[in-house]
Amino acid sequence: MKKLGVNIDHIATVRNARGEHHPDPYYAALQVVKMGADSVTIHLREDRRHINDLDAKKICKSKKVLVNLEISMNDQIVKNALKIKPDYICFVPENRKEVTTEGGLNLIKNKKKIKNIIEKFKKNKIRTSLFINPSIRDIRMSKELNADCIEIHTGKISNLIKSKKRYNVELDRIKKCSKLAKKLNLEVHAGHGLDYKTTKILCKIKEIKEFNIGHFIIGESIFFGLSSVIKNFKKIIKN
Ligand code: PXP
């Protein structure tokens, strides 16, 4: 059965726009799970643009939801994450000027560092995932680095589909990577830029076990409500 992780970062973006307390990401985390999400994703960015340490601690401490914490390899962030103790950790690249996570990790450049950090989280029984581009080389490297899961960056295919361009080559790449990852015993996740249409297309890849979706869910909820949007996604990924 495929799982849905709801990224609630943009609940914090709306809260932060006023610098006050509403809407509360902690309340959102509890609600999205009641509405059918299997887990919540939060990204503790170095610039604390949306979720902050207090939000992350409160959400993880509640033990009422499974939390997937996204972080960069920054030493201080890694230290904080080990204290926050999420259920799952997903390592993502982070670039100061980016609007959102642009592309996957550079595993070759950061090989040693990533391996050491993965080991620390595994010792703490925290599931580890690497956010990577759909590349065979990166899948093999993720296995070498001893990650539990890989999350395939779906930004490129999402943009192609949304702009009505040919996406078969990219879809094929994602399929091949998913098959190899499964064969190597890596759990396969997918995320970034997903909406109903892109999720429907990627859902056909049976090796993908988890979708992590944020911006579209929160945006669409303005018109149709969080509960109804989550239900629609659950229906799509159910098969
Ligand atoms: N997965 C990862 C690893 C991400 O970094 C993000 C964006 O923060 C997402 C999924 C969700 O992307 P989106 O908000 O475009 O759905």
* Helix, strand and coil percent figures for the chain, each rounded to 5: 50, 15, 35
Distance CA 92, CA 41 (A): 12
At 88, the amino acid letter reads Y
Instruction: Determine the pLDDT at residue 94.
Output: 85
Expressed in angstroms and rounded, the spacing between residue 108 Cα and the centre of ligand 1 is: 22
Residue whose CA is closest, atom 9 of ligand 1?
192
In terms of C-beta density within 10 A (0-12 exposed, 13-18 middle, 19 or more buried), how is residue 83 classed?
exposed
Residue with tokens 């899961």: 149
Indicate if ligand 1 lies below 6 Å from the C-beta of 213: yes
Indicate if ligand 1 lies below 6 Å from the C-beta of 100: yes
Instruction: Determine the pLDDT at residue 97.
Output: 67
Tokens of 30: 């509890």
Q: Which of 80, 186, 59 is nearest to 130 (CA)?
A: 186
Indicate if ligand 1 lies below 6 Å from the C-beta of 131: yes
Tens of pLDDT along the chain (239 residues) come to 999 999 999 999 999 999 999 999 999 999 999 999 999 999 999 999 899 999 999 999 998 999 999 999 999 999 999 999 999 999 999 876 666 767 899 999 889 999 999 999 999 999 999 999 999 999 999 999 999 999 999 999 999 999 999 999 999 999 999 999 999 999 999 999 999 999 999 999 999 999 999 999 999 999 999 999 999 999 999 86
| Residue among 41, 73, 138, 210 to mutate when testing ligand 1 (max atoms within 8 A of CB) | 41
Instruction: Determine the pLDDT at residue 98.
Output: 67
Residue whose CA is closest, atom 4 of ligand 1?
192
Mean residue pLDDT of the chain comes to 95
Atom of ligand 1 nearest to the CA of 192: 12
Domains with residue ranges and CATH for the chain: 3-238 (3.20.20.70)
3-state DSSP assignment of residue 70:
strand
Expressed in angstroms and rounded, the spacing between residue 51 Cα and the centre of ligand 1 is: 14
Expressed in angstroms and rounded, the spacing between residue 151 Cα and the centre of ligand 1 is: 10
Q: What's the pTM value of the predicted model, to 2 decimals? A: 0.95
Distance CA 39, CA 78 (A): 21
Expressed in angstroms and rounded, the spacing between residue 129 Cα and the centre of ligand 1 is: 13
3-state DSSP assignment of residue 73:
coil
Active site residues: 43, 70, 192
Instruction: Determine the pLDDT at residue 239.
Output: 63
3-state DSSP assignment of residue 138:
helix
Indicate if ligand 1 lies below 6 Å from the C-beta of 55: no
